[in-house]
Amino acid sequence: MGTKFSALWMAFLLLFPVVLSTHNGGLIRIGLKKKKLDQVNHPVGTLDSTKGEAMRVATKKYNIYDNIGNSGDTDVVALKNYLDAQYYGEIAIGTPSQTFTVIFDTGSSNLWVPSSKCYFSLACYFHSKYKSSESSTYEKNGTSAAIQYGTGSIAGFFSQDNVKVGDFVVRNQDFIEATKEPGVTFLAAKFDGILGLGFQEISVGKAVPVWYNMVNQGLVTEQVFSFWLNRNVKGEEGGEIVFGGIDSNHYKGEHTYVPVTQKGYWQFDMGDILVGNESTGLCGNGCKAIADSGTSLLAGPTTVITQINRAIGASGIVSQECKTVVAQYGKVILEMLMAQQAKPQKICSQIGFCTFDGARGVSTNIESVVDETTDEVSNGVQDAMCAACEMMIVWMQNRIKLNQTEDQILNYVNELCDRLPSPNGESAVDCGSLSSMPHVSFTIGGKVFGLTPEQYVLKVGEGVSAQCISGFTALDVPPPHGPLWILGDVFMGPYHTVFDYGNLRVGFAEAA
């Protein structure tokens, strides 16, 4: 989604859950147990890079150029919820089965997983890899392929094999073996690959999507699939995707359906957006929108997102981190500089924000804990706190040369903090102010779908250490393709979403 930047990277050592299949009400359910990730302690309050990267991974892409009856031909794949930012489930490829965790993504159309032939990308070494030599149903293709997402890219080649989704076996499915996953995006991901559920019109190489083959091979009688995303991060279930029907236990009332206006993404027309009871004025005559399970946040034009973030008191993550450093350590740093107690490049490491490599500061390694099992996780160079401290050193040195007073220097640094952009679009909010924040509502099919502050704010941690992130981020797409809204998991969590392929429509109802 746009051009993304990340100065943070980390490696995950994953513990995959036990998978059990059960039959319930004609639906085949695959149960996944949740692995909780404890909050990382920072020297001062900030969103840790593990969680920030999780949201950047799932907030991505866009290179813009009724009750459907249950039947025996339905399948349910349970999803895991990682910090309300990634929802992923399990599939298998090959004979015998090789298991992978994937994001079921309605905003793309290809299936890809890491290849055993991926030798030079670090991300491949921390995820499951497909081994064609171990599958008796593998068919060679070899055609080169590459996919560019807003937050990362993959490259590799096409292969063909059987793909198992729940109890459905999709035969002769073309997919991409990824041999290159450059950068940090997929290194930090809790998933191995992506299973696209968009239309074939946006499929790289015009490969037939997995969902199309489910329909073409007669695996489902109802040409529909539906998402229920559990926004309770403490819940055992992350959610469910149901292929071939919907589960009436997942929603309340009736769905409101709108037609797909352009095949590719699941795109439809949307009406006005309200902050509180006031119109934002941009979509009074209609806007384009996309329902995207592969995007964690809710993205829209800067004009409206700015109004929303102003109304909820949101500020840029980088700006807030910078001001936190100034408030808690500004005087100490200034005194050290003025007294020349240490070399400027060593001050941030002495305070604990960075380590010193002999020439400059680099971020300290911080451990993360998964349940009771400790897996050491290394953050990459220059995390946000280290960067904020180092910027402050430069700013203060410049003002000291001008013989300014302590108050003048600290006020000047604070002003510069206010002007720092958030390169990944995240905005922080005060966790204690949720009760005073307005509802934000979207008009779809003539009905108003409201989001409460508790629904559009992502809360990480508990008590005084809790950190809150705005669920809204800016994305500007010019006409004729825009203005465009991306209704990601922030919206699809409160509203059960039906993707009706047979009738080319999308439906929304209050989630149960």
CB atoms within 10 A of CB 74: 27
Kind and range of the H or E element at 57? helix 49-58
Question: Nearest to residue 175, comparing CAs of 189, 192, 162, 190?
Answer: 162
Query: What does DSSP assign to residue 68?
Result: P
User: How far is the C-alpha of 250 from the C-alpha of 270, rounded, in Å?
Assistant: 24
- Among 126, 94, 49, 119, residue whose Cα is nearest residue 364: 49
The answer to whether residue 105 is catalytic is: yes
DSSP string for residues in 88-117: EEEEEETTTTEEEEEEEETT---EEEEBTT
Q: Compute the Cα dihedral for 213, 102, 83, 76 and give only its sign.
A: positive
Q: Which of 331, 346, 488, 326 has its CA nearest to residue 420?
A: 326
- Cα angle vertex 63, ends 502, 48, to 5°? 105
Asked if 257 and 500 touch (Cβ cutoff 8 Å), the reply is yes
DSSP strand pairing (440-444 vs 447-451): antiparallel
Q: Nearest-CA neighbor of 318 among 414, 396, 410, 426?
A: 426
List the structure tokens of 97: 């089965």
Q: In the structure encoding, which two tokens stand for residue 511, read together?
A: 């989630």
CA distance 335 to 396: 10
- Choosing from 48, 75, 84, 105, the catalytic residue is 105
Exposed / middle / buried, residue 325 (Cβ in 10 Å: 0-12, 13-18, 19+): buried
For β-strands 224-229 and 239-243, DSSP reports them as antiparallel
Known catalytic residue: 38?
Answer: no
Tokens encoding 263? 């095949």
Catalytic residue among 192, 292, 383, 489: 292
Give kind and range of the element (H or E) at residue 333.
helix 317-338
CB 86 within 8 A of CB 191: yes
Contact 116, 127 (CB under 8 A): no
CA distance linking residue 93 with residue 104, whole number of Å: 15
Q: So which residues are the catalytic ones?
A: 105, 292
